[in-house]
Amino acid sequence: MSDAKAAPSADAAAPKSKKNILLFAIIGLIVVVLLVGGALAFFLLKTPAEGSADEAVAEANAHAEDAKKEKEKKKKEKEKKEGHTAPVFDKLQDQAFTVNLAGDTESVLQVEIMVELAEEHDKERLKGIQPKALDAVNRLLRSKTLEQVKTTEGQETLAREIREALNHLLEAEAKDEGVLSVNFTKYFYQVQ
């Protein structure tokens, strides 16, 4: 009888062993499903603030560029206050302006004009409106009489009027913007 009792206990151990293996397999499968689900949730529900590395680099570059522009602006303001900015000059046109003066006489005025600009980028702005600028200067020169251009005061008035006309075209509002001064590098008048 002892043999008969031993046999059923061996059969009972076999189903218990199969139950343990099945239990571990189910627990392992649940753990794997939870890990995969957690990883998917992490990547799919990630907030935009966390963004990708490319977005972070682009944002950092934008902030660096803004900081650089702000630094340059402060430097220019400081130089203006201290008066250390280098002058920027530009020739208004390659050839001299030659015009007939107003009035009864047949007189001619020939001038070469060099303008002093507030900033380097004003050169490009001036070149962008060059046809209008040349027209404005030509009209101004042709409106003058010989008596107005002969004197030093007349030359200073003409330079001031040219500066005002150019600054109007450049939409420069303050005195330290756009064209700062007009300089005649050649000034010749003749009565024919």
Assess whether 111 and 149 both reside in one domain. Answer: yes
For residues 128 and 142, the answer to whether their CB atoms sit within 8 Å is: no
Cα–Cα distance, 5 to 51 (Å, whole number) = 69
For residues 179 and 166, the answer to whether their CB atoms sit within 8 Å is: yes
pLDDT, tens only, 25-41 = 899 999 999 999 888 88
Assess whether 183 and 92 both reside in one domain. Answer: yes
pLDDT, tens only, 86-111 = 788 999 888 999 999 998 778 999 99
Assess whether 50 and 74 both reside in one domain. Answer: yes
Assess whether 67 and 146 both reside in one domain. Answer: no
Q: Is the confidence at residue 142, as pLDDT, over 70?
A: yes
**Can you read off the two tokens belonging to residue 86?**
């280098």
For residues 142 and 158, the answer to whether their CB atoms sit within 8 Å is: no
Average pLDDT, the chain: 82
Give me the percent of the chain exceeding a pLDDT of 90.
42
Reported as a pLDDT band with limits 50, 70 and 90, residue 11 is: low
Last residue of a domain, one of 26, 52, 82: 82
For residues 183 and 21, the model is more confident at 183
What is the domain range of residue 105? 88-191
Residues 6+ apart with CB under 8 A from 137: 92, 97, 113, 162, 165, 166
For the chain, the domain total comes to 2
Reported as a pLDDT band with limits 50, 70 and 90, residue 119 is: confident
Reported as a pLDDT band with limits 50, 70 and 90, residue 153 is: very high
125: Cα within 13 Å, side-chain hemisphere = 17
Cα–Cα distance, 12 to 111 (Å, whole number) = 119
Assess whether 71 and 92 both reside in one domain. Answer: no
Last residue of a domain, one of 82, 98, 123: 82
Return left, alpha or beta for 187; rule: phi > 0 is left, psi -120 to 50 is alpha, else beta. beta
Assess whether 7 and 77 both reside in one domain. Answer: yes
Last residue of a domain, one of 22, 57, 82: 82
Q: Which pLDDT score is estimated for 151?
A: 92
